[in-house]
Amino acid sequence: MRLRVDLLPHGNYPDVVLVIDTLRATTTAVTYLERGAEALLLTRTPEVALGLKGDGFLLGGERGGLPIPGFDFGNSPVEAQSQNFTGKTVVMNTTNGTGASHVAAQSGKHIFLAALTNAHAAARRARAQATEEVAIVCAGTDERVSLEDVYTAGVLAEYLLSLGEFTIDDGARIALTVRRNSGNPLEALSSSLHGGRLNNLGLGEDVSYAAQLSTSTVVPTLVQGEDVPAGTLRFVAG
Ligand SMILES: O=C(O)[C@H](CS(=O)(=O)O)OP(=O)(O)O
Ligand SMILES: [Mg+2]
């Protein structure tokens, strides 16, 4: 079994993909499902999301860290945690995480969303489904490598290695090194460029929330081969 870590999304995934956007899209996605959402529709663009508005969907997303005009929510796990989404479908579009999921879905057989909050459950699901490779894909920020995603990749890689034999690539070696040398999750996320930016926007509580380790067993799972609105990917709790 191969374990691969892409520090940015590259594509060509043959098997299982774990998509990470710790700050904040995949952390928020886990929280929507934790709070009862029936499904998430991750859209290719904000326009696709806005086109679905009014069909009983709730829209969540951001640009520059702030809510998109016309959307119901931002991209905040703390905001999501304070709401009840029972029976609702949340349509999401964010700067990095939703795009990374679309790259993964172009080729991967099984796509899961991972964050620190569901790290161990996501790793277990990946190991159980994989037949040849687990690819951990860091969304990054604006096409640049981001510390918080690489740190989370290291947490996932560490746990996967405790579950069985893998041959690992240099991306995995880098992620494991970052994980072992960046302190605890809150220290790592707080020292990242994006963690600092969210703090400056008054969104520091989201950074603390995202730093919680394995508080959830919900693993957002792509439902393949289903009829979904064009430009969207449908994830449900797994
Ligand atoms: O909402 C976020 O934290 C980021 C916004 S950005 O990196 O400041 O543009 O989006 P995400 O897609 O969750 O990385
Ligand atoms: Mg991010």
Distance 9 CA to ligand 1 centre (A): 15
Q: What atom in ligand 1 is closest to the CA of residue 203? A: 3
Three-state secondary-structure class, residue 144: strand
Distance from residue 146's CA to the centre of ligand 2 (Å): 8
**For residue 114, what is the DSSP state?**
E
Mean pLDDT for each 10-residue chunk of the chain (238 residues)? 98 98 98 98 98 92 96 98 97 98 98 99 98 98 98 98 97 98 98 98 98 98 93 98
Adjacent-strand bridge partners of 63: 66
Q: What is the pLDDT of residue 105?
A: 98
Is-contact 33 55, C-beta < 8 A? no
Q: What is the pLDDT of residue 226?
A: 83
- What token pair was written down for 168? 């690992």
Parallel, antiparallel, or unpaired: how do β-strands 167-168 and 66-67 relate?
Answer: unpaired
Helices of type H across the chain: 25-34, 46-52, 77-81, 97-105, 119-129, 147-163, 170-181, 185-191, 193-200, 204-210
3-state DSSP assignment of residue 232: strand
User: How many Å from the N-terminal Cα to the C-terminal Cα in the chain?
Assistant: 23
d(CA 145, CA 9): 10
Token couple for 31: 């929280």
Cβ 28 under 6 angstroms from ligand 1: no
Q: ipTM value of the model?
A: 0.95
What CA–CA distance (Å, rounded) separates 164 from 92?
34
Residues lining ion ligand 2 (Cβ < 5 A) are: 21, 23, 96
Domain range summary for the chain, segments of one domain joined by +: 2-237
Cβ-contact 212, 206 below 8 angstroms? no
Handedness of CA 17, 18, 24, 25 (dihedral sign): positive
- CA–CA dist 198, 171 (Å, integer): 26
Peptide bond into 234 cis (omega under 30): no
Choose which residue among 19, 22, 24, 207 to substitute to test ligand 1 binding: the one with the highest number of ligand atoms within 8 A of its C-beta: 24
Domain spanning 2-237: CATH 3.40.50.10860: no
Ligand 1: which residue has its CA nearest to atom 11? 96
**DSSP label at 57?**
B
- Per-residue burial over 94-116, b if 16 or more Cβ lie within 10 Å, else e, is bbbbbbbbbbbbeebbbbbbbbb
Strand partners, 3: 134, 168
